[in-house]
């Protein structure tokens, strides 16, 4: 059978178009999983945002720093750290920030975060010891120590201990130890002045105590003075407690026959102890 020329020409055109389409499909990217392992692209490490340690305004920091520096227990520890020549040792507030603290005393065991006043004793650029005063409602609640890095100007080395800081001094057989201390909230601080009204209340609590009455008997007595007495004790955890102390003088026939001290808990209106010894021992 003879095929017309026109039909043969159309048939050839269709074949060529199909072949071209097949070639285009082969040029498309393969969809199968490649067998070669691609090279890992390094991921850049993000730079953490800097957070300033200064968490209080200038006015707040000054106020908290002054409370810490005025505290007699803090002053005592600054003197102990600057023992080489405290008259020529600078003492200044280096920072005020929140820090965790573990307060511990008999019947009291608390972990919390408090405003902490960092006090640099000595040249802040040199190795040494910082005194840390933790404040609770404008009251010094805890005092700690931290070694300070810097240029070694004295030859001493400073290291942290479980409860404070140790100072190793060349030529000394024993290290100096600085122990952290909890300051109990008794309502009083060593050396504080009390009002005349509170003075009278403290005296009346002491005079009304039955044990005190037995010591006085029917003899004449004088309340010599009322002062705030602080004691530091505890092992291994140190703590400070302060209470009013009433000093009695008992006389008979014009002669002094007895002297004793009465420790008073003014907040709870009770006598804590009577002692013929000075200072108190607990």
- In this structure, is residue 39 part of a structural domain? no
Instruction: Report pTM.
Output: 0.77
Residue numbers of the domain that contains 261: 196-275
- In this structure, is residue 190 part of a structural domain? no
Phi, psi at residue 200, to the nearest 5°? -65, -40
Residue showing tokens 């009013």 = 244
Residue showing tokens 């009465």 = 262
Answer yes or no: do 172 and 83 share one domain: yes
- pLDDT tens-digit series, residues 93-143: 999 999 999 999 999 999 999 999 999 999 999 999 999 999 999 999 999
Alpha-carbon torsion, ordered 209, 215, 219, 220, to 10 deg: -60
What is the per-residue pLDDT for 185? 97
Q: How far is CA 237 from the centre of its chain?
A: 15
Q: Which two tokens stand for residue 25?
A: 């499909």
Answer yes or no: do 101 and 176 share one domain: yes
Answer yes or no: do 146 and 203 share one domain: no
- In this structure, is residue 53 part of a structural domain? no
Q: What span, in angstroms and rounded, lies between the C-alpha atoms of 71 and 190?
A: 9
- pLDDT tens-digit series, residues 161-198: 999 999 999 999 999 999 999 999 999 999 999 999 99
Q: Which two tokens stand for residue 100?
A: 């965790």
Q: What is the CATH number of the domain that holds 234?
A: 3.10.450
Domain boundary among 127, 148, 183: 183
Which of 202, 218, 219, 188 minimizes the C-alpha distance to 261? 202
| Mean pLDDT within 245-263 | 93
Residues in the chain: 282
- pLDDT tens-digit series, residues 202-253: 999 999 999 999 999 999 999 989 999 999 999 999 999 999 999 999 999 8
- In this structure, is residue 251 part of a structural domain? yes
- pLDDT tens-digit series, residues 22-35: 433 333 344 444 44
Number of domains forming the structure of the chain? 2
- In this structure, is residue 152 part of a structural domain? yes
- In this structure, is residue 76 part of a structural domain? yes
Answer yes or no: do 202 and 178 share one domain: no
Answer yes or no: do 227 and 270 share one domain: yes
Domain boundary among 183, 216, 233: 183
Answer yes or no: do 247 and 173 share one domain: no
Answer yes or no: do 171 and 209 share one domain: no
Q: What span, in angstroms and rounded, lies between the C-alpha atoms of 228 and 192?
A: 7
- In this structure, is residue 157 part of a structural domain? yes
Answer yes or no: do 69 and 92 share one domain: yes
Q: What span, in angstroms and rounded, lies between the C-alpha atoms of 133 and 149?
A: 19
Q: Which has the higher per-residue pLDDT, 49 or 181?
A: 181
CA distances from 113 to 80, 104, 203 (A): 26, 14, 38
Q: Coil, strand or helix: which one is 194? A: coil
Answer yes or no: do 255 and 177 share one domain: no
Domain boundary among 183, 208, 231: 183
The conformation of residue 148, written as its DSSP 8-state character, comes to E
Answer yes or no: do 175 and 204 share one domain: no
Answer yes or no: do 219 and 242 share one domain: yes
- In this structure, is residue 255 part of a structural domain? yes
**CB atoms closer than 10 angstroms to residue 4:** 8
Answer yes or no: do 138 and 167 share one domain: yes
């Amino acid at each position: 059978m003879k095929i017309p020329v026109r039909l043969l020409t159309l048939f050839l055109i269709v074949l060529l178009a199909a072949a071209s389409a097949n070639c285009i499909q082969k040029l498309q990217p393969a969809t199968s999983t490649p067998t070669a392992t691609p090279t890992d692209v390094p991921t850049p490490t993000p730079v953490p945002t800097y957070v300033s340690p200064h968490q209080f305004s200038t006015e707040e920091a000054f106020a908290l720093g002054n409370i810490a520096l005025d505290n007699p227990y803090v002053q005592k520890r600054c003197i102990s750290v600057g023992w080489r020549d405290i008259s020529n040792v600078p003492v200044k507030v280096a920072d005020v920030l929140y820090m965790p603290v573990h307060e511990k005393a008999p019947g009291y065991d608390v972990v919390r975060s408090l405003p902490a006043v960092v006090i640099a004793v000595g040249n802040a650029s040199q190795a040494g010891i910082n005194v840390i005063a933790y404040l609770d409602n404008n009251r010094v609640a805890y005092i700690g120590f931290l070694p300070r890095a810097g240029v070694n100007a004295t030859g001493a080395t400073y290291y942290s201990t479980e409860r404070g800081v140790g100072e190793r001094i060349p030529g000394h057989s024993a290290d100096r130890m600085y122990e952290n201390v909890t300051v109990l909230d008794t309502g009083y601080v060593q050396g504080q002045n009390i009002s005349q009204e509170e003075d009278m209340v403290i005296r009346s609590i002491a005079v009304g105590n039955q044990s005190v009455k037995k010591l006085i008997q029917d003899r004449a007595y004088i309340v010599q003075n009322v002062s705030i007495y602080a004691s530091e004790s505890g092992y291994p955890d140190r703590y400070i407690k302060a209470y009013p102390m009433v000093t009695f003088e008992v006389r008979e026939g014009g002669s002094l026959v007895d002297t004793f001290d009465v420790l008073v808990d003014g907040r709870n209106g009770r006598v804590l102890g009577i002692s013929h010894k000075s200072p108190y021992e607990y």
